[in-house]
């Protein structure tokens, strides 16, 4: 039966030279069939461009931003929110305050200026 | 450079009558917004501040209420488990006007905005905290009594449908009050008036002039002047002027119209100067006064009162207004908070709303939901920290008063001040015993 099916539903084209054939271009513009998100040429420093100025210091601060125990993060700078949490006895992590004091980090929350 | 008030000197048989005095202390600092900075924040911060403040308070009351039950967050609710949740109430109201209704393609048969009350039998309550919200069921909480913005503790359990069946409720209750030695000392009176509406066509200027003459001691015989000499403070609770609305239609005003616009406030200043020259007077802004719209309303500017602001007895205050007079603590508003409650909930009378706000420990729970309010980020100034002895609301339909008691022996005099332009009535309170009576002025010209 299987062989009948095989003959019935052709797996391959009968004639390879005839019929409609697309012209093949000699130089491929991109490896569009690949699974990789970005073509190798665009990957910089060995890591993907998905990072976007987002290092682990920012990660810690972002976790502080979305932590609901300290309230909403929009409309206040990160330091102000930390000070408020501290004043209310919520014991916000000291690490966050140190990072904010060190500088070179975003003083606004992750949605700051974008909403 | 401020002129001191002249002692009320009246040439009577017994000599000069002196006005009594009281020690005044303003407590309006928390209602001032000069130090606040607006950074584009929305209202989530004030709700969080309110929830944190009141939840901390309610947690401290739980051990005396139901010590054996666990406390959960809304997300931590388990079906069938008896527990306590604390959060902010949200009331879903079908008839509540929404700006989006203007854009809806389907217009319902009922009009878009009903002026008086938006209560409907389909209203339901939801409790919300940072983790989530849950619909409230059961007969303990009547939706018509509650409004959005109150923070409470509820005892009950989650039902199979995912709602919370309420069995009991804990409100914050009256805060602590400093004890007053009642019935000691002499009689000293505070006069409360509101809704003067100077400049409106319905206000009779003669009534207010009579009022001013009476309290400054220019009316009546020696006995009446003696009574007037015992008035130590006048409080004007909002809506002192009313502008001709027809002028404010967005068009440029000609010079004649411009002078028409400034007439009411000039007239008010003349009358206030007469009062301020003899008695300390506090003036609060209201909805029709030239002040900002959202609560807390900021004091009316001194430049509006060139005559009366020269006196150190003249004080322009915030709305809400809080102060102490001889250690008697006063708290009151020009009416917006209670009027908003009356739109979104039901009570037997306006005093009922007043009492509820004190027992919820928050004088304007509907702010910022339906009552305009400043988006504070780290505090909620409408939270009542210390229980007042006198709690008033201005611009009401009629005079009402009652004395309420708290569970810790607090005693509060509640006063609804009627609109003077309509009723010709002011309220007089005796500081010695917190008793109240009215002072009415009429001019029946023999009809």
Residue A53 has pLDDT above 70, yes or no: no
For A55, how many CA atoms within 13 A lie in the half-sphere containing its CB? 6
* Mean local confidence (pLDDT), B361-384: 94
d(CA B139, CA B427): 39
What was the pLDDT predicted at A52?
A: 62
Q: Residues B31-47, buried b or exposed e (16+ Cβ, 10 A)?
A: bebeeeeeeebebebbb
* Mean local confidence (pLDDT), B21-41: 90
> pTM for the whole thing?
0.84
* Mean local confidence (pLDDT), B30-42: 88
* Mean local confidence (pLDDT), B24-41: 90
Order of strands, sheet of B321-325, starting from the edge strand that comes earlier in the sequence? B24-26, B321-325, B328-333, B390-396, B411-418, B400-405
B140-to-A65, B125, B156, B360 alpha-carbon distances in Å: 38, 12, 10, 16
* Mean local confidence (pLDDT), B297-316: 96
Complex-level ipTM: 0.81
What was the pLDDT predicted at B210?
A: 93
* Mean local confidence (pLDDT), B420-426: 94
On chain A, the residues whose CB falls within 8 A of the CB of B48 are 71-72
Handedness of CA B36, B40, B43, B46 (dihedral sign): negative
Residue B443 has pLDDT above 90, yes or no: no
What was the pLDDT predicted at B96?
A: 86
Give the pLDDT band (50/70/90) at residue B336.
Answer: very high
What was the pLDDT predicted at B226?
A: 86
Residue B345 has pLDDT above 90, yes or no: yes
B-chain residue closest to A108, CA distance: B39
- Percentage of chain B modeled with pLDDT above 90: 74
Q: What are phi and psi of B446, to 5 degrees?
A: 45, 75
- What is the token pair recorded at A41? 């040429």
Residue A75 has pLDDT above 90, yes or no: no
B-chain residue closest to A73, CA distance: B45
Give the pLDDT band (50/70/90) at residue A100.
Answer: confident
- Residue B108 and residue B120 in contact, taking contact as beta carbons nearer than 8 Å: no
What was the pLDDT predicted at B84?
A: 96
What was the pLDDT predicted at A32?
A: 47
Chain-chain contact of B130 with A69 (C-beta, under 8 angstroms): yes
Chain-chain contact of A71 with B41 (C-beta, under 8 angstroms): no
What was the pLDDT predicted at B322?
A: 97
Give the pLDDT band (50/70/90) at residue B34.
Answer: confident
Query: Across B65-74, B198-207, B245-254, which has the greatest mean pLDDT?
Result: B65-74
On chain B, the residues whose CB falls within 8 A of the CB of A76 are 39, 41, 45, 377
What was the pLDDT predicted at A19?
A: 55
What was the pLDDT predicted at B116?
A: 79
Give the pLDDT band (50/70/90) at residue A104.
Answer: confident
Chain-chain contact of A72 with B44 (C-beta, under 8 angstroms): yes
Chain-chain contact of A68 with B131 (C-beta, under 8 angstroms): yes
What was the pLDDT predicted at B268?
A: 95
* Mean local confidence (pLDDT), A96-114: 82
Of the candidates B339, B252, B297, which has an alpha carbon nearest to the alpha carbon of residue B33? B297
- What is the token pair recorded at B120? 């409907």
What was the pLDDT predicted at B292?
A: 94
Residue of B35, B36, B46, B48 best to disrupt the A interface, most CBs of A under 10 A? B48
On chain B, the residues whose CB falls within 8 A of the CB of A80 are 377
Chain B (27-46) residues lying within 8 Å, Cβ to Cβ, of chain A: 39-42, 44-45
* Mean local confidence (pLDDT), B261-288: 94
What was the pLDDT predicted at B10?
A: 45
User: Could you give the 3-state DSSP secondary structure of residue B351?
Assistant: helix
Say yes or no: B73 contacts chain A, CB-CB below 8 A: no
Residue B1 has pLDDT above 50, yes or no: no
- What is the token pair recorded at B267? 């007239």
B85-141 pLDDT per residue, tens: 999 999 999 888 887 777 775 655 555 555 678 898 899 999 999 899 999 999 999
d(CA A76, CA A69): 15
B399-to-B210, B212, B362, B363 alpha-carbon distances in Å: 19, 20, 23, 20
Residue B52 has pLDDT above 90, yes or no: yes
């Amino acid at each position: 039966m299987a062989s009948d099916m095989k003959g019935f539903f052709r797996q391959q084209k009968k004639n390879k030279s005839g019929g409609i054939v697309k012209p093949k271009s000699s130089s491929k513009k991109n490896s569009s069939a690949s699974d990789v998100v970005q073509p190798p040429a665009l990957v910089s420093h060995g890591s993907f461009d998905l990072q976007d100025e987002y290092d682990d210091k920012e990660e810690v601060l972002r976790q502080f931003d979305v932590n609901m125990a300290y309230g909403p993060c929009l409309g206040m700078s990160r330091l102000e929110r930390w000070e408020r949490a501290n004043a209310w006895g919520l014991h916000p992590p000291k690490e966050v305050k140190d990072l904010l004091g060190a500088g070179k980090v975003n003083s606004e929350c992750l949605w700051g200026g974008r909403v | 450079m401020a002129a001191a008030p002249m002692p009320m000197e009246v040439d009577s048989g017994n000599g000069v009558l002196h006005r009594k005095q009281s020690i005044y202390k303003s407590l309006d600092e928390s209602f001032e917004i000069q130090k606040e900075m607006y950074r584009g924040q929305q209202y989530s911060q004030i709700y969080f501040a309110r929830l944190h403040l009141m939840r901390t308070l309610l947690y401290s009351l739980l051990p005396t209420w139901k010590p054996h039950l666990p406390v959960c967050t809304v997300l931590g609710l388990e079906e069938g488990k008896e527990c306590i949740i604390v959060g902010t109430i949200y009331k879903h109201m079908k008839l509540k006007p929404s700006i989006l209704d203007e854009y809806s393609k389907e217009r319902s048969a009922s009009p878009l905005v009903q002026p008086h009350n938006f209560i409907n039998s389909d209203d339901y309550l939801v409790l919300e905290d940072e983790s989530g919200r849950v619909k409230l069921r059961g007969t303990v909480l009547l939706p018509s009594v509650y409004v959005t913005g109150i923070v409470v503790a509820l005892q009950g359990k989650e039902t199979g449908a995912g709602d919370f069946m309420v069995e009991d409720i804990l409100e914050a209750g009256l805060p602590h009050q400093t004890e007053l030695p009642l019935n000691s000392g002499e009689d000293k009176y505070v006069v409360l008036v509101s809704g003067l509406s100077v400049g409106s066509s319905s206000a009779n200027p003669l009534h207010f002039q009579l009022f001013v003459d009476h309290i400054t001691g220019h009316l009546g015989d020696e006995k009446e002047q003696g009574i007037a000499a015992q008035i130590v403070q006048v409080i004007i609770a909002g809506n002192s002027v009313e502008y001709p609305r027809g002028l404010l239609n967005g068009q440029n005003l000609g010079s004649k119209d411009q002078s028409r616009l400034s007439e009411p406030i000039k007239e008010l200043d003349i009358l206030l100067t007469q009062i301020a020259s003899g008695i300390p007077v506090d003036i609060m802004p209201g909805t029709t006064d030239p002040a900002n719209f959202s609560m807390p309303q900021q004091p009316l500017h001194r430049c509006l009162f060139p005559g009366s602001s020269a006196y150190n007895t003249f004080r322009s205050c915030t709305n809400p207004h809080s102060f102490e007079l001889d250690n008697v603590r006063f708290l009151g508003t020009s009416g917006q908070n209670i009027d908003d409650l009356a739109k979104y909930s039901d009570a037997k009378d306006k005093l009922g709303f007043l009492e509820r706000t004190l027992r919820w420990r928050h004088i304007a729970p509907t702010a910022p939901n339906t009552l305009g309010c400043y988006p504070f980020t780290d505090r909620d100034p409408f939270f009542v920290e210390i229980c007042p002895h006198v709690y008033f609301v201005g611009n009401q339909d009629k005079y009402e008063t009652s004395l309420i008691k708290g569970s810790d022996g607090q005693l509060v005099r509640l006063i609804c001040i009627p609109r003077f332009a309509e009723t010709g009535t002011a309220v007089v309170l005796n500081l010695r015993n917190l008793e109240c009576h009215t002072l009415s002025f009429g001019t029946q010209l023999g009809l």
